Amino acid sequence: MSLVFGIAGCKPLPPSMPPSEWTPQEARGAQVFQEKCARCHYPTTAHSLHGPGLQALTKLRSMPSGEPPTDERLTDRILHGYGLMPGTPLTDQQLKDLLAYLHTL
Ligand code: HEC
């Protein structure tokens, strides 16, 4: 699927996948998110908490920074932090699960 959505302005964002449709890996990733990311990010809205809301993160053309939301970029942001966001050390498995989950948003 190659749908590309523009900047999140007036257009509604595509909805996040409901938990009932998650694969086991995505469900594990959701747990990682709850532990490591939820205190600063809302996953399924575009509203900011401490950092930007992450709804439709991987379906948008670019992240708030303007970078494309590729797994490579996301991995770098997550592990090493970025601007006001601290890095989060994760195991390879946690990282894979988390990336799978981020694709459901
Ligand atoms: C202590 C709060 C905090 C935590 C914990 C945190 N973030 Fe962030 N995050 C931020 C802030 C603040 C920004 C905006 C950074 C900036 O623009 O300076 C951000 C930005 C981002 C971005 C946008 C990057 C871009 O290029 O625009 C993504 C994606 C992201 N965070 C994902 C995550 C994920 C996934 C986790 C969990 C592993 C996480 N964050 C944990 C605060 C946090």
Query: What pLDDT, in 10s, does the model give residues 49-97?
Result: 999 999 999 999 999 999 999 999 999 999 999 999 999 999 999 999 9
User: For residue range 11-28, what is the model confidence (pLDDT) as tens digits?
Assistant: 689 999 999 999 999 999
CATH code of residue 70: 1.10.760.10
pTM to 2 decimal places? 0.91
CB 76 within 8 A of CB 21: no
CA dist., res. 77 & res. 63, Å (int): 11
Question: Given ligand 1 and candidates 31, 40, 57, 88, which is best to mutate, with the most ligand atoms within 8 Å of its CB?
Answer: 40
Domain that holds residue 37: 22-102
Within-domain flag for 8? no
CB 27 within 8 A of CB 19: yes
Report CA(85)–ligand 1 centroid distance (Å).
Answer: 5
Cβ < 6 Å from ligand 1: which residues? Answer: 36-37, 39-41, 50-52, 54, 57, 63-65, 67, 74, 77-78, 82-86, 88
Percent of the chain with pLDDT over 70: 90
Within-domain flag for 1? no
Chain centroid offset of residue 3 CA: 17
Give the least confident one: 4-8, 13-17, 40-44, 98-102: 4-8
Within-domain flag for 7? no
Residue among 60, 91, 64 at smallest CA distance from 75: 91
CA dist., res. 97 & res. 75, Å (int): 12
Within-domain flag for 47? yes
- Per the structure, how many domains does the chain have? 1
CB 54 within 8 A of CB 102: yes
Among protein residues, the one whose CA lies closest to atom 17 of ligand 1: 83
